A and B are shown apart, each in its own frame.
Chain A
Amino acid sequence: MVIKEYFEDVYNRVIDQKDNYEKTTVAVGEHFADIYTSDSALKRVFFYSIAHLITYNALTLSSLTIYCITDDILEERLKAPTLCADELSLNGNYNNSDSDRYFIFYQPWLHQIYLYDSLHNIAIYWVKGINNIPWWEPTFSFRIIFHWWSLKTPYQLIHSGAISKDGNKTFLFPAPSGSGKSTTTLQLWLSGFLYLGDDYIMIDVDKNIVYQLYSTAKVETITLEKFLPELKEKIINKNKLQEQKGILHIENLQKIYALPISGIIIPNISSGNYGIFECNKSAAQLAIAPTTLHHLPHNRDTSFRKITKLVQTNKTYIWNLPTLRDTLVNQFSQFQVNE
Chain B
Amino acid sequence: MSPLNIQQGSSKHSAYDLRDPYSEVIETHTLAVIVDNEPGVLARVIGLFSGRGYNIESLTVAETDHQGHRSRITVVTTGTPQVIDQIKAQLGRMVPVHEVHDLTVDGPSVERELALLKVAGKGEHRIEALRLAEIFRANVVDSTLESFVFEMTGAPSKIDAFADLMRPLGLREIARTGVAALARGV
Our verdict on whether A and B bind, yes or no, reads no
